[in-house]
Amino acid sequence: VSPAGRRPASQAVRTVLLVSPDEALRAQLVRALGDRSVFFAASDDEALKTLRVTQVEAIVKDAVAPLREVPRFIARARHVCPSAVVICVLPAGESSEDDESAAEA
């Protein structure tokens, strides 16, 4: 990681796991990710199975309610793939204050 906190271009993220049952969100993220290798999982369990056989550099998780499950998924994903960056996409306006607190944990 460079001093600015970013990876040098030679170490840019090349493999991403998208975790979401939402086909529309997955399609949007694939377009945004450009030429990176993208793997898909519709559920947390499917994502963890994928991580056991495929190393990725980033995990993008659609954090659907109940958000209290998000920290558990992150812990399990980091156990299987400790070097991956985990990014959670929170639903706009659909979460409670308790859900947001759980997601920040």
Contact call for residues 56 and 78 (beta carbons, < 8 A): no
pTM: 0.75
- Position 47 scores a pLDDT of 96
For the stretch 28-66, pLDDT in tens is: 888 888 888 999 999 999 999 999 999 999 999 988 777
Contact call for residues 59 and 81 (beta carbons, < 8 A): yes
- Position 17 scores a pLDDT of 95
Q: What are the structural domains, with CATH classification, of the chain?
A: 12-96 (3.40.50.2300)
pLDDT, averaged across the chain: 81
Strands (E), 1-105: 15-19, 37-41, 58-62, 85-89
Q: Give the confidence band of 9 by pLDDT, cuts at 50, 70, 90.
A: very low
- Position 82 scores a pLDDT of 93
